[in-house]
A and B are shown apart, each in its own frame.
Chain A
Amino acid sequence: MRKLLLVALLVMGLAACARPAPDTLKIGSKPFPESELLADMLAILAQERGIPVTRIGNLGGTKITFDALKSGSIDVYPEYTGTGLMEILQQAATNDPNEALELVRQGFLKAYDIEWLEPLGFNNTYALAMKTAEMKALGIRTISQLAPKSGGLIFGCSHEFYDRPDGYPGLVEFYGLHFKKVERLQHGLAYQALLQDKIDLTDVYSTDGRLDPETMTVLVDDRHFFPPYYAAPVARREALLRFPAAREALNALAGRIDDPTMQRLNRQVEVEKVPSKEVALNFLRKQGLVRGEAGALQTGRGGDVAQVLWARRGEIAVLVGQHLALTGVAMGLAIAVGIPLGIVISRSVRLAAPVLVAAGVLQTIPSIALLAFMIPYLGLGAKPAIAALFLYALLPVLRNTYTGIRGVDPALVEVGLGMGLRARQILTLVEIPLAMPVIMAGIRTAAVISIGTATLAAWIGAGGLGDPIVTGLTRNDVPTILTGAIPAAVLAVVVDLALGGLERLVTPRTG
């Protein structure tokens, strides 16, 4: 018992020491390659101008990333005008790119004190793609030109596009399209289907890296049906004041990346598996925005899983360390709170029911949602992750302590009282030792759950073994996913076994 508390306190102490970081410009990104790549470029440009930078990647989607920006957990990230207008400001779409930019500029400044810097140039919106050869055969370049020929064509339509009012239904009406047939299919399969002539055209993102420029071409949206999604850095005004050189650095890319360029860069990351930072640096060098050889570069990723695991062993060791720190601190807190609370509620049935129900409800909140809820209060990184993991670990520890203590033979308590033991002595000499196997089982359960759930902490920038999993998922890169998933699984097994050993050690013998 005392040993457990000691370990818990130790872990918490270490975590407390590991904090204070110097002020940096915190550059975030959403969990897909284009966002990562742009953020990497912004980070390199800022560093070139002597601004200390922290790069926080793989944030879990628009809500989490924008919440992080609002709360100051990050200072900058690349956003799209369409997303800013419709998802964040909840305003109606507009087809005019300049109007959209103006609307988000004013809206963000007013509502959030956040600035839209200069757009980078490209527009990552929906588009229709065809095989280049077929387009030439039909003699068309634009969607307007497509309309009269559409009666003979099969449209491979992604599920999402089919259902959105600004997708298929609006499109066919706007341009007067009448396809021979509409084939609904998974986005990832559409490219394959197009190359195999199963379909004639499909909806794509205009800068998608999987769009092969050798064989496919995007039809020009000549009447501007699709809402504009121009990319630009969004930054907290306060951060631009904190780092006076930041504005110029972040605006250095203004207008320099057009659609085909962005598409080509995405392709390097997504298809050719070149590391994002390397693609970013090479591009900036060619643009003359970075001199010399800034930053050491690693190359030659890929290969089979064993090779990848071995090649990245140093990186994995660091991630395992982060992972253990996250779960260790959360477990320490859960033990420090759960065991005393479990003892208290074992004394009062009236208290037990609401406390256990509350802990149970916490358990049912989806992990990603719980992590997202934490950001406004605790920002990004380890703190909200630990808080969420703590809440998940609490129930098993709490409930098993309660059950374990309640399960102690009442005759033992009665005879203990009768012979003149104090309440404290009954707790330490009788109840806790006898409840120990059950309490330890709860701690084991909590630890294994925590190690699994902690992989999700990467979505809010807490690091750990979830980092390669998230990165791999966004790039469809299985070896990278496995460099996180395999060590996480091994870690869960090892920790479970170790705690099993500890359980045998602290379980009193009875024969």
Chain B
Amino acid sequence: MIALEGVWKEFPAPRGSERPAQRAVDDVSFTVPAGETLCLIGTSGCGKTTTLKMINRLVEPSGGRILINGSDTAASDRIALRRGIGYVIQKIGLLPHRTVAENIALLPRLEGWDASRLRARTDELLDMVGLRGYGGRYPAELSGGQQQRVGVARALALDPPILLMDEPFGALDPITRESLQDEFVRLKEVFKKTIVMVTHDLQEAFKLGDRVALMEQGRMVQIGAESDFRARPASPFVEDFLRAHLAHPTLSAIPALSAVARDARPSDDAPTLPRDATMKQAMDLFFRYPAATTLALVDENGTAVGAVTRESLLQAV
């Protein structure tokens, strides 16, 4: 369990500047019960990343208390604290000169695990993120989505009860992001980690978070489940925020037909989808068949009514 009690952070004003010191985070309190996922959301500069980094003490709070399972993090050893908290960031940060397996095994190795245990753990994690057999590759040989899977596997290597994620899917293309989000939901159910995730994408926050905390100018504006936000927005600001961020229908609400390529015909061996499938389903299919260049949309009789290519799908997105 993670608990923040009246936490604030003040950064000194830049030297020579007229402005007074600024409060990046101002009197924030919340609790994340064990096994729950909380998404911190807000516009850039709202203090969500600073809040996240205070939990593993990459940023030291100016005041207030942060408790993990009841004990004050300020009193704990920083290195030990961090090794008990998985950390995933948007830029991933895999060591380019280490293989995938070495990246994943970095912390366990430093903790002195023996070779057979390291190997077993690495294989287990690679299996879990769907990258079996990729252990010997270097990060540069992987796609962005694959790299972030490795990033997540690395964060889970010591099996920490807590995971901090700072826009983990922010740098990925929409198709990859959607598929990793789905996988996140699946893994979350399996592992029951306590997770705090920063995102600026409200759809993602609602999809991945058990609860969502909306911040603005360093303060907590509203915290609750998706239904709370929709039913009882706490202020006009929240209403505006919801309207602005939910304006785009989700991929699962748009028919795949709207992404049909005018000038393409499906190849004979193209994977098929029913004509009323959604864009989301089309994306998933492309993921399942990495070699496929086109998908066939078929009617009840199995007759192709249109072709969707990767390009046309991306354009429609």
Residues on A lying within 8 angstroms of B by beta carbon are 409, 411-412, 414-422, 425, 429-430, 433-434, 508-511
Contact = CB atoms under 8 A, between A and B. Distances in A.
A409 B93 contact: yes
A152 B139 CA distance: 89
A-B complex: 5 closest residue pairs judged by Cβ atoms: A415-B93, A508-B97, A420-B82, A418-B87, A411-B91
Contacts of B56: 418
Contact of A414 (B93, B95, B110): B93
A473 B80 CA distance: 67
A510 B97 contact: yes
B221 to A, nearest CB: 26
A421 B91 CA distance: 18
A266 B18 CA distance: 79
- Interface centre among B79, B89, B154, B164, by most A CB within 10 Å? B79
Contacts of B78: 420
B222 to A, nearest CB: 28
Interface string B136-175: 0011110000000000001100000000100000000000
B306 to A, nearest CB: 39
Nearest to B142: A511
Given A508-B97, A509-B97, A415 B87 contact: yes
20 contacts: A409-B93, A411-B89, A415-B87, A415-B93, A417-B58, A418-B58, A418-B82, A418-B164, A419-B83, A419-B86, A419-B107, A420-B81, A420-B107, A421-B79, A433-B97, A510-B96, A510-B139, A511-B138, A511-B140, A511-B141
A437 to B, nearest CB: 10
Interface in B64-118: 78-83, 85-87, 89, 91-93, 95-98, 106-107, 110
Contact of B89 (A415, A425, A510): A415
Contact of B87 (A419, A425, A434, A511): A419
Interface residues of B, number: 30
Contact of B80 (A419, A420, A421, A511): A420
B96 A425 contact: no
Contacts of A433: 97
Nearest to A423: B79
B93 A416 contact: yes
B291 to A, nearest CB: 23
Contact of B138 (A412, A414, A509): A509
Chain A residues touching B, majority SS: helix
A106 B110 CA distance: 75
A416 B83 CA distance: 11
A419 B110 CA distance: 12
A415 B56 CA distance: 11
- Interface centre among B53, B58, B87, B97, by most A CB within 10 Å? B97
A429 B79 contact: no
A277 B201 CA distance: 88
A458 to B, nearest CB: 43
A419 B96 contact: no
A415 B91 CA distance: 9
Interface string B163-196: 0100000000000000000000000000000000
A63 B312 CA distance: 81
Contacts of A415: 87, 89, 91-93
Interface string B238-254: 00000000000000000
A434 B94 CA distance: 12
A508 B92 CA distance: 20
B81 to A, nearest CB: 8
Contacts of A421: 79, 110
Contacts of A419: 82-83, 86-87, 106-107, 154-155
Contacts of B82: 417-420
Contacts of B141: 511
A200 B83 CA distance: 93
A416 B53 CA distance: 13
Interface in B44-70: 53, 56, 58
B220 to A, nearest CB: 23
A429 B87 contact: no
A430 B138 contact: no
B307 to A, nearest CB: 35
Contacts of B95: 412, 429-430, 434
Nearest to A510: B96
B92 A411 contact: yes
Contacts of A417: 58, 82
A214 to B, nearest CB: 75
Contacts of B93: 409, 411-412, 414-416
Given A412-B93, A510-B96, A422 B138 contact: no
Contacts of B80: 420
B90 to A, nearest CB: 8
Contacts of A429: 95, 106
B83 A420 contact: yes
Given A417-B58, A429-B95, A510 B138 contact: yes
B97 A414 contact: no
A418 B78 CA distance: 10
Given A411-B92, A420-B80, A509-B138, 5 more contacts: A412-B93, A415-B93, A420-B78, A508-B97, A509-B97
A374 B89 CA distance: 54
A427 to B, nearest CB: 13
Nearest to B111: A420
B138 A418 contact: no
B89 A414 contact: yes
A429 B107 CA distance: 11
- Interface centre among A415, A509, A510, by most B CB within 10 Å? A415
A415 B80 CA distance: 15
B157 to A, nearest CB: 9
B110 to A, nearest CB: 7
Contacts of B155: 419
Contacts of B154: 419
A418 B83 CA distance: 8
Contacts of A420: 78-83, 85, 107
A434 B89 contact: no
Contacts of A434: 95-97
Contacts of B86: 419
Nearest to B137: A511
A430 B93 CA distance: 11
- Interface centre among B80, B81, B83, B95, by most A CB within 10 Å? B95
A508 B98 CA distance: 8
A439 to B, nearest CB: 14
A425 B110 contact: yes
A409 B56 CA distance: 21
Nearest to B99: A509
Contacts of B164: 418
A434 B139 CA distance: 14
A416 B79 CA distance: 11
Contacts of A510: 96-97, 138-140
Nearest to B164: A418
B197 to A, nearest CB: 14
